[in-house]
Amino acid sequence: MIWNRARDTPTVRRLDALGRIIGETRNNAGGGAAPTDADLLTTTLGYDLAGNLLSVVDARGFVSMQGSYDRQGNLVREQSPDSGAVVTLHAADGQPCAQWTANGFGVQRTYDALRRPVATGVNPPPTGGGQPFVAERVVYGEDFALDDAVAHNARGQAVLRYHGAGLDQNWHYDFDGRLVTQRTWVLPAASTGKPAPDWSGLAFEQAPLAWATPPGAGQLAEPYVTSFAYDALDRVTQTTTADGTVTTRSYNLRGQLAAVTLTPPDKAAQAVVKSVTYNARGQRHAMQYGNGTKTAYAYDPLTFRLDSQRTTGPTGAAVQFLVFTHDAAGNVTARRDLAQPTIYFGNAASPPVATYTYDALYRLVAATGRESALASETAPPFVLDPGPLQVKSPLSDQQVRPYRQAYQYDKVGNLLRMTHIPGTPSTPGWGRTYAYEAGSSRLLSTAVGDNAGSYLHDAAGNLVAMPHLNGGQPGGLGWDWAGRLASTGLTAQQAAYYDYTADGQRRQKVAGFVLGGGGFQVQRRVVYLPGGLEIVEKLDANAGVVAAWQTVAVDDGQSCLLRAETQTAGVLPNVQFPVLRYQVQDQVGSVAIELTGEGDVLGVEEFYPYGDTAYWSQAGAAGFSRKRYRFNGKEKDEESGLYYYGARYYAASLGRWTACDPAPAVGVSPFEFCSGNPGSKVDPDGREADWIDVPAPDKRVQAAQQQFGMGIVRGLFDLGVASVKGAAATISPVAAAFRTVNTVNEMTTAYREGGGGFSGLIAAVNVVNPVAQVAESAFRAWYAPTLESRAYHATQAAVQGTAVVAGAAAVAKLAVGAKAPRVGDVPPTTGGGGSAGNAVDLAAGEAVASKGAGFRSFDAFKRAQGPAGPGMHWHHVVEQTPGNLGRFGAETVHNTGNLVRVDAATHGRISAYYSSKQRFTGDMTVREWLSTKSFQEQAEFGAQTMRKFGVGQ
């Protein structure tokens, strides 16, 4: 086999006759060397006739996944040597109704008449002795008095959510279905660690329910109330947390963050972000903070990757000045902090530089940096250590030395060895080796010299024993029915418990002492509330609050900018409040520096690539609470040494997750962290790692922009549907309004004058937006289903077509269904511009006059579908994918009225035929040959092919 040596990272994929990937081989030789068998990592996939994935054989030759499916294609049984066996039964509509987990829990999900989830029942494993219970309940607006539900805009909305951490009530929605006020009840700390709450005994059937006093709320403490305010584009402009703190966000004309203010209770507003500027691509150029600091960003002019980020204090002196070097694939190969000096200690220079070296699969194989000289030279840091904390100041006075780490992996990404060499090469250093269960990626043991530690997993692949917890015995980590970490035990007498909401987010953490007779004395409690509010309490032996403080986290859509701490009760010795902790991060979001509200340095921390602390100085933080959010900006639990990401917990000391990937990992270890590339990838919640893009455009802004675009064309789309449905009387006033707009010419001019891009698009659609709003109002008075999910498809036809409404009507025809009248046959306008009003009249006329189904002619279908080309299957309206099936419905996937729907098996045989070479096609496949023909010829050939495969017209 001849390998493509571009960047030394070729991947060869093998496809079957249906175009499915049945094998992938990755070459890890690198350097242009000829690969050996050990370098070629091959993953093999097997499918059934319907295209369902049946098995995965990883590069080690182990079967890492096996699947069984029902006749609807739902995964019924999944078997993995890592995550165990899970059996799921589905209802007729495809929703899961019963499941048996690898740990023996039976989970039953029930739905109402509208197929909305209402309850989740759990049967504990027979060996555990537990009793069945209802773990989750959902109550909707229809179960309350009509006046209450209408007053709170809650008809059809989820109002009450009961879960393992308490109760959430969506108290009030606005007219657009956005949550305005939420009430949160949290389980008392005393109940934590006991069996999960059972919500089966509440009187849900006694409708109508009382809005102000939900069932079960009386058993809990007073609720925490959080409220939100939005602008017309669905962006959150104001958040009021339960303590009364108000966070206000404003946006620029492009929908990007412009400023953020924080208003504590009974205090004046203070700026968190004074201003933000952006470049032409929407990347941040500079951000001015409320404490007088500023961060400036510079990008590579060719790749647009981040070249540097420089944070300066109020005096203009640099606090952090990171300069990055990337390879051709975007991996960070070097990072230098020009704001920090080179430190000379112990006959060695320690420059503020970190380097990263990768193998051909972009896995980190070597790294250099600097670490505290107080750290052991012959043993790794202890898991529970906060890090080698130093208190000298300034940084140049610190005892710092260079280090080098090397990493080895197996064929699926599990670490095999981590070597650490501190100081000079003559220093002995230490090495950790990893051993795994046969045929699996479950960690069996690690060893550093003669010191070995054992690990144990449950049937679902969750770690239940680690050497530093509970003496290495089982029970060091406990997991709930949903596979979430429920408890950790430092010793038999010290433990911590965790409660979660229905969506898996941690709501409460308590830590304390296990008492005789099954009792538990809470020593410390943390409550995580909506809006970024966290309440921390320190309790005495009688459960009295000794001291309490709270933190409000302010983010910018990408990461946390500020944590504002305020004391609310008692006295914490030697700790002063309030304090503003501005977060200065590195390329992977780790909190490298914390600054006060005056711009002074609170602390500096540097990390090894996989997250352990290499250096930590809190010289300026004397008298302040200890930093909790650290590597990747995540909270490190002091009681376990684990980082909480959201879906999973991460063991930085091991460089791997404590549980399997929630999504099936095909060909790679489900425990590997960031694909073995922690310097260039980030996993925001433990579900999927992605390449860093710092600072990427705000994802919430992107979502708002998408919604903005959908809103603009929604009226056009609705108008198209109205014409399809034959509502000529409804749209005639709109047609008159459209006659005032020469659509194409005016939109083109506006686009150019708007500078093109997204700004130009906004200017272009604003030409017709007023009329579109009229259309929307007229249409919703007649027919008002939820059509937003289809609006994107209307955008393309509406903006690109020669007549806006004609295009919208054509796309609406495709989206609404097979039996709609033939409105796709709208004659093209003349003169390149044309009147959209004429198109409306024509579309409406066709809708009223036509009694047939489908398009009037194939030419009409051609205009709706676009020109012929590779991949255009004549019998498709849209591709048969789960997303399109859900969006359009099965009746339109292969059917426009005069076209024929084919089942999946027949479609597979036809597709295989199209992918083959026939005598009449020469060196081309049938599909390639067919794409050179006209649409009419494609239609005729398609009809012939359908008859050949036994499908009648």
The reply to whether 353 and 371 lie within a common domain is yes
Most confident of 465-474, 705-714, 781-790, 821-830: 465-474
Which ranges of 817-897 would DSSP assign to H, the alpha helix?
836-849, 858-865, 882-888, 890-893
Confidence of residue 399 (pLDDT cuts 50, 70, 90): confident
Mark which of 866, 901, 927 sits at the end of a domain. 866
Structure tokens, 150 = 């209408």
- What pLDDT, on the 0 to 100 scale, is given for residue 865? 46
| DSSP assignment letter at 617 | E
The reply to whether 278 and 424 lie within a common domain is yes
Domain-located, residue 165: no
Please give, one letter per residue, the 3-state secondary structure of 265-292: CCCCCEEEEEEEEECCCCCEEEEEECCC
- Distance (Å, rounded) from C-alpha 596 to C-alpha 338? 21
- What pLDDT, on the 0 to 100 scale, is given for residue 491? 87
- 303: pLDDT strictly greater than 90: no
H/E element holding 123? strand 117-123
Structure tokens, 755 = 């500078």
Most confident of 98-102, 282-286, 542-546, 745-749: 98-102
Q: Please, which residues have CB within 8 angstroms of residue 796's CB and are 6 or more apart in sequence?
A: 811
What mean pLDDT do residues 683-695 have? 82
Q: Kindly state the percentage of the chain with pLDDT values over 70.
A: 73
- What pLDDT, on the 0 to 100 scale, is given for residue 922? 81
Domain-located, residue 742: yes
Mark which of 825, 842, 866 sits at the end of a domain. 866
What mean pLDDT do residues 686-708 have? 57
The reply to whether 279 and 401 lie within a common domain is yes
Neighbours of 172 (CB within 10 A): 19
Q: Are strands 613-617 and 389-390 parallel, antiparallel or unpaired?
A: parallel
- Rounded to 5 degrees, φ, ψ at 652 are -65, -30
- 294: pLDDT strictly greater than 60: yes
Residue 42 contacts residue 58 (beta carbons within 8 Å): no
The reply to whether 438 and 332 lie within a common domain is yes
- What pLDDT, on the 0 to 100 scale, is given for residue 939? 59
Cβ-in-10-Å burial (0-12, 13-18, 19+) of 12 comes to middle
The reply to whether 323 and 272 lie within a common domain is yes
Q: How far is CA 311 from the centre of its chain?
A: 28
- What pLDDT, on the 0 to 100 scale, is given for residue 951? 63
- 575: pLDDT strictly greater than 90: no
The reply to whether 710 and 654 lie within a common domain is no
Q: In this predicted model, what pLDDT tens digit does every residue of 360-372 receive, in sequence order?
A: 999 999 999 999 8
- What pLDDT, on the 0 to 100 scale, is given for residue 902? 58
127-157 b/e with 16+ CB inside 10 Å = b? eeeeeebbbbbbbbbbbbeeebbeebbbeeb
- 779: pLDDT strictly greater than 60: no
- What pLDDT, on the 0 to 100 scale, is given for residue 802? 27
Q: In this predicted model, what pLDDT tens digit does every residue of 315-333 receive, in sequence order?
A: 999 999 999 999 988 999 9
Residue 372: which CATH number?
A: 2.180.10.10
- 884: pLDDT strictly greater than 80: no
- Of 827, 814, 949, 775, the closest CA to residue 893 belongs to 814
Helix count and strand count (H, E) for the chain: 14, 54
What mean pLDDT do residues 407-421 have? 97
- Rounded to 5 degrees, φ, ψ at 776 are -65, -45
The reply to whether 372 and 258 lie within a common domain is yes
- 676: pLDDT strictly greater than 70: yes
Domain-located, residue 145: no
- 3: pLDDT strictly greater than 50: no
Q: Strand ranges (DSSP E) for 490-532?
A: 494-500, 506-514, 520-529
Residue 748 contacts residue 804 (beta carbons within 8 Å): no
Domain-located, residue 41: no
- Distance (Å, rounded) from C-alpha 564 to C-alpha 582? 8
Tokens 């008298």 -> residue: 623
Residue 125 contacts residue 105 (beta carbons within 8 Å): yes
- Distance (Å, rounded) from C-alpha 429 to C-alpha 422? 6
Domain count of the fold of the chain: 3
H/E element holding 712? helix 699-725
Residue 320 contacts residue 593 (beta carbons within 8 Å): yes
What mean pLDDT do residues 327-355 have? 92
Which is it for the CA torsion 700, 704, 710, 714, positive or negative?
Answer: positive
- What pLDDT, on the 0 to 100 scale, is given for residue 32? 72
Of the CA atoms within 13 Å of residue 288, those in its CB half-sphere come to 10
- Distance (Å, rounded) from C-alpha 931 to C-alpha 908? 19
H/E element holding 53? strand 53-57
The reply to whether 588 and 549 lie within a common domain is yes
Q: In terms of residue numbers, what domain contains 311?
A: 231-454+544-691
- 813: pLDDT strictly greater than 80: no
Q: In this predicted model, what pLDDT tens digit does every residue of 424-448 receive, in sequence order?
A: 767 789 999 999 999 999 999 999 9
Neighbours of 43 (CB within 10 A): 22
Domain-located, residue 339: yes
Residue type for 78, please? E
The reply to whether 651 and 765 lie within a common domain is no
DSSP code string of 215-254:
TTGGGS-PPEEEEEEE-TTS-EEEEE-TTS-EEEEEE-TT
Which carries the bigger pLDDT value, residue 902 or residue 944? 944
- Of 444, 421, 419, 424, the closest CA to residue 434 belongs to 444
Which carries the bigger pLDDT value, residue 712 or residue 134? 134
Tokens 């906060």 -> residue: 386
- 915: pLDDT strictly greater than 70: yes
What mean pLDDT do residues 143-154 have? 94
- 633: pLDDT strictly greater than 50: yes
Confidence of residue 296 (pLDDT cuts 50, 70, 90): very high
The reply to whether 748 and 718 lie within a common domain is yes
> What average pLDDT is seen over the chain?
79
